[in-house]
Chain A
Amino acid sequence: MATNASGFFKTSYASDLGLWETPWRRFWVLAGLVLAVAFPFFANTFWIGVINLAAIAAIGALALNLVTGYTGQLSLGHAGFLAVGSFTVGILVARWSMPVWVTLPAAIVIGMVVGLFVGVPSLRLRGIYLSISTLAAYFFIASLATEYQSRFSGGAGILIPPPRIGSWVLSGERNWYYVLFALTALATLLCLNLNRSHIGRAWLAIRERDLAASALGIDVSHFKVMAFVISTGMTSLAGALLAYYTAFVSAEAFTFFVTIEYLAMILIGGLGSVLGSLLGALFVTLLPFLIERAVEQLPFPATFKTHIFAVQSGLFAILMLAFLMFEPMGLARIWGRIRAYFELWPFRYRPLP
């Protein structure tokens, strides 16, 4: 975690263990929670739906940040792991009508197994070679998914009925909102705690200099694989939730561009930062909707309207570039700078003692 700009002054062991040490921080977190809970009551259904998508994306982004931001292994296979979760749900529901409390854990477990298969061979590889190995994994999974779809589903996607627990059916944006909010909060807490633990510190060490880390007694392979396994398990869960939420599973939804979107989320949000994953997921999910509105409202030449996808992707690219250039460390760093400004005021920087 970034240090407090004006210095860290803890007065007890309890405060050392706490997640949010100062009263101010606790206040802001509480305020945020209250706002989040109250949100569906004053927003219209469309925007609740957008936030729901952002919440699912947030789980995926948190997962990606674990392996790419924190442990430093650039994973280009993210869309594949989402597909694993979605297709697990799809297959279990379509063929054996499994209920949701079976399919979700199954998705997580199968995701973790896939993570094991991707993580173990990549132990030999570092840097871009590891990234390309994950890319190859993505292509492999994508082709498997397309194969399945064309053979067993007649080329179309799989329709998923809404999940039910007992007699209660989960449907409607509001209900989804609270469920997803709870799940995202859990995922966030998991990531925060992982990062604070010895596992998180080992990951950081691996990211910075894995040779030095292994010289210090950190079993690099063990922790690398752990990063992959936890990350793909979480991503698989996100994919499963996506399947239930959109009620549809199809291989076409998992293009390489999806991986790029998630990478954009964690890069725009801030590599290695939990807050960054959340902010980034929100930003990237919101963006296409905002662009669509903008293109409709503002006067653009006719060619733009006909090639709407080109315009959308073009604007997405420009915004991504702007972000990457002006604040490559992401939204979390911008937030950190604003905080540092207020914490250090009236000084510009911490003076020498």
Chain B
Amino acid sequence: MMSGLRIENLESVYNKTITAISGVSLEVPAGRIVSLMGVNGSGKSTTLNAIAGLLRGDPQEIAAGSIWFDDERIDGRPPHEVVRRGIVLVPEREKIFETLTVAENLQASVAPPTITPAAHKERLAEVYELFPALMERKNAVAGFLSGGQRQMLAMARALLCHPRLLLVDEMTLGLAPLVIADLLGRLCHMRASLGVSVLLVEQNVSAALEVADYGYIMEKGRIVFHGTPDKLRSHDDVREFYLGLGDTGARSYRDVKQYRRAHRW
């Protein structure tokens, strides 16, 4: 199955005056987990929203560049069409329908037209197997689930759209380390058994690099560095600022960044 996401020189503008991201190019080959990392405000979520088709009209819009999936241009399409083509977003906040029950949440996902009802039923069974906690709470109102269960429901909901590419926005926020490890494991399992590619946006770089096949680092709206996890882990600046393993000691974040950035990135 040749499916791949390719972004070329994406640029997005906020309120027609402020540039949010510029010159962003990245690739997610089929069946791979790619991680997009960076601090707050670096433009990671904007990139995801651009792919998912949420950047239309005021106040945000795509100003230049293109997004390709399976050699088909998808930028500027409405969100439900993007889902129909196999790309599903698991948002950072507001990721489940609070007033619906767990079962209804899953019922709300629309499968692409190429999927038969039988295949959809099969997927539903697979999802319940993957997340047994949801099976137990099938008829509970989703608003009463805990943080980890919500994330599971969000991913389950996304899986029921039969995605070929999952866009996951900061799924480790607010979760305990054990739960994070569990969810990351499930992501790998999804990649292995269902062949789903993942574009993982994360601030938690160490967690992301555990599962990613490739990583991109964004700062202030641009991609500044990319490489395999080993390459990233051995890079001095990544160690310093994103992994907290730097050897420069107690110097202030700001001085070091200014000085070294000019030379490194």
Contacts and interface: CB of A to CB of B under 8 A. Distances in A.
Interface of A: 5, 337, 340, 344, 348-353
B19 interface: yes
Contacts of A351: 19, 22
Contacts of B17: 5, 340, 344, 349-350
Nearest to A6: B17
A349 B59 CA distance: 13
A349 B221 contact: no
Interface string B9-20: 000010011110
B39 to A, nearest CB: 16
Contacts of B16: 337, 340, 349
Contacts of A349: 13, 16-19, 63
B189 to A, nearest CB: 39
Contacts of A344: 17
B220 interface: yes
Chain A CB count within 10 A is highest, among B19, B22, B221, for B19
B222 interface: yes
Interface string B199-221: 00000000000000000000011
Question: For the complex, would chain A's binding face be called helix, strand, loop or mixed by DSSP majority?
Answer: loop
B220 A352 contact: yes
B181 to A, nearest CB: 33
Nearest to B19: A352
7 contacts: A349-B16, A349-B18, A350-B18, A350-B19, A352-B19, A352-B222, A353-B220
B156 to A, nearest CB: 30
A348 B11 CA distance: 13
Chain B CB count within 10 A is highest, among A344, A350, A353, for A350
A352 B63 CA distance: 13
Contacts, number: 23
A337 B16 CA distance: 9
A353 B17 CA distance: 14
A71 B22 CA distance: 35
A309 B220 CA distance: 57
Contacts of A5: 17
A353 B258 CA distance: 14
A352 B221 CA distance: 8
Chain A CB count within 10 A is highest, among B16, B17, B222, for B17
A326 to B, nearest CB: 12
Nearest to A337: B16
A125 to B, nearest CB: 22
B110 to A, nearest CB: 30
Contacts of B19: 349-352
A132 B179 CA distance: 46
Contacts of B220: 352-353
Nearest to B220: A352
B256 to A, nearest CB: 19
Nearest to A343: B17
B222 to A, nearest CB: 7
Contacts of B13: 349
A72 B88 CA distance: 35
Chain B CB count within 10 A is highest, among A350, A351, A352, for A352
A348 B221 CA distance: 18
Given A348-B63, A352-B221, A353-B220, 19 more contacts: A5-B17, A337-B16, A340-B16, A340-B17, A349-B13, A349-B16, A349-B17, A349-B18, A349-B19, A349-B63, A350-B17, A350-B18, A350-B19, A351-B19, A351-B22, A352-B19, A352-B22, A352-B220, A352-B222
Nearest to B11: A352
A351 B22 CA distance: 9
A299 B165 CA distance: 61
Which 5 pairs show the lowest CB-CB distances between chains A and B?
A: A352-B22, A5-B17, A352-B19, A349-B13, A349-B17
Contacts of B222: 352
Contacts of A353: 220
A19 to B, nearest CB: 23
A337 B15 CA distance: 10
Nearest to B43: A352
A5 B14 CA distance: 12
A5 to B, nearest CB: 5
Nearest to A3: B17
A85 B63 CA distance: 51
A277 B18 CA distance: 26
Interface string B133-166: 0000000000000000000000000000000000
Interface in B1-56: 13, 16-19, 22
Contacts of B18: 349-350
Contacts of A352: 19, 22, 220-222
Interface in B39-92: 63
Nearest to B222: A352
A195 B13 CA distance: 28
A5 B19 CA distance: 12
Interface in B217-235: 220-222
